[in-house]
Amino acid sequence: MKILSHYIHGGLTAAPSDNAQPIVDPATGKQTASVALATLNDVDAAVASAKAAFPGWSETTPIRRARVMFRFRDLLEKHQEEIAALITSEHGKVHSDALGEVTRGLEVVEYVTGIPNLLTGRASEDVGTGVDSYGLRYPLGVCAGITPFNFPAMVPMWMFPIAIACGNTFILKPSEKTPSAALFLAELLSEAGLPEGVFNVVNGNKVAVDALIDHSDVKAISFVGSTPVAEYIYARSSAAGKRVQALGGAKNHMVVMPDADIYEAADALMGAAYGSAGERCMAISVAVTVGDEVADRLRAALQKRIADLKVGPGNVASSDMGPLISAAHLEKVSSYVGIGSNEGASVIVDGRSAFSSDTSGGYFIGPSLLDNVSAQMRVHSEEIFGPVLSIVRSDTLEDAIDLVNAHEFGNGAVIYTGSGEAARQFTRQISAGMVGVNVPIPVPVAYHSFGGWKRSLFGDHHMHGPEGIRFFTRLKTISTRWPKSKPQSNQFSMPTLD
């Protein structure tokens, strides 16, 4: 059986069979390959390669770096079907969703093809007599990205294209559950003309993660995953003196107002709650209805749509929702339906019984819908990361905002309304990093930045867009003066620019 290994210094490494773990197709539960888990020596080799490549790559002009990104962009478009097929085979999401993932990653590559302009500094003439000042951004060195299983192409492409375009070298540690897309991207980068060592992939588990965090030659760590791991990586990396952006968990809410189009809101919730089997950090997992009548109408509209939703393998065209990533995660997600019922929620649709003949052997669960959920219930307070949607009933918009803001996470929040006044109040008062008005999943486009608030983000910088440029560079401010004659005496006072 095929063993996937690492991509170091421009090529695949030998794949040892004594330190590997299975890769499983979640639609069948069957092993399709194995992936080698990196040792400390593997991480050292990747860092050494990246460190050696940094001087030459950082001195490469931004326009030449941009040309590599242009070629990489063209290759991504040419091979997007192949990348999507790899994602579906290892993650399980339906093919159309996998294609969408590739597209959202490709948009970041398109953004950084403008790196000569994005790195343009600020300049001021005559800040003092004969003194000019300007600021420039410089690359950090060797950077690393640690990415989750649910977006094996998109999330890495939210990191490494910006880091590389800014002049850094990069080491990617993808999820060991979904490694193939990262290795494919590495091959495309080499084909695009990226020099050896500028981009490396090490597959592995916590051993590889800790090795990257602790390595003195790694200057920055970018992470997306669960909040406990994000907090761990932030604390340990910061203690090691590294720059860190660690994006954690979420519990995203959609507030539905009495003047909202219920059918539009229900359509939006179907994709936002159940798309990719709910395995998205920006999935809407709570609908907060303002008024009981809104809740009743929304629930009825959702029930009708859920009945028509087709669960099946991601590579089957008729499937709307694929499997979960693993047997362990299936057990976890399934348990929350029972937890909600035991805590007093009304189970309107129980996804645990939504199986069909073509889903045997895989990690499938149907969409679940719970009503009469309260803020104190675990189904509301904890991130489920599966297709379980809760309805929380609220009396007023103010109560709804208070409920959302009381949650420990602050990743995304959405309002569906026809009122500009309500939308403005919501967008100003809600404590979340990404906000939507009549937009079900408010993921920013590539030239804006992605990131949450509160315990959804550890670190000061959001991801991609202008924040991504700032994260992967450091500012140097330069003041220059060319006096016509030398000073007549020594100057010991604080200099002023008059």
For 127, the enclosing helix (H) or strand (E) is strand 122-128
Question: Strand (E) positions, 177-315?
Answer: 199-201, 218-224, 243-247, 252-256, 284-290
What pairs with residue 247 in β-bridges? 224, 457
- CB atoms under 10 Å from CB of 116, counted, come to 14
- Active-site position among 171, 256, 270, 281: 281
281 is a catalytic site residue:
yes
Sign of torsion over alpha carbons 187, 188, 189, 194:
positive
Cα(398)–Cα(196) distance, rounded to whole angstroms? 56
CA separation for the pair 482, 487 (Å, rounded):
12
Cα–Cα separations (whole angstroms), residue 192 to 76, 161, 189: 10, 13, 5
Cα 430 from Cα 449, distance rounded (Å): 18
Distance (Å, rounded) from C-alpha 290 to C-alpha 396?
6
Transcribe 379-440 into DSSP letters.
HHHS---SSEEEEEEESSHHHHHHHHHTSSEESEEEEE-S-HHHHHHHHHH---SEEEES-S
Residue 367 zone, left/alpha/beta (φ > 0; ψ -120 to 50; rest): beta
Report the phi/psi class of residue 419: left, alpha or beta, with left for phi > 0 and alpha for psi in -120 to 50.
beta
The answer to whether the beta carbons of residues 287 and 403 sit under 8 Å apart is no
Query: Are residues 310 and 323 in contact, defined by beta-carbon separation less than 8 angstroms?
Result: no
Catalytically active residues are 281
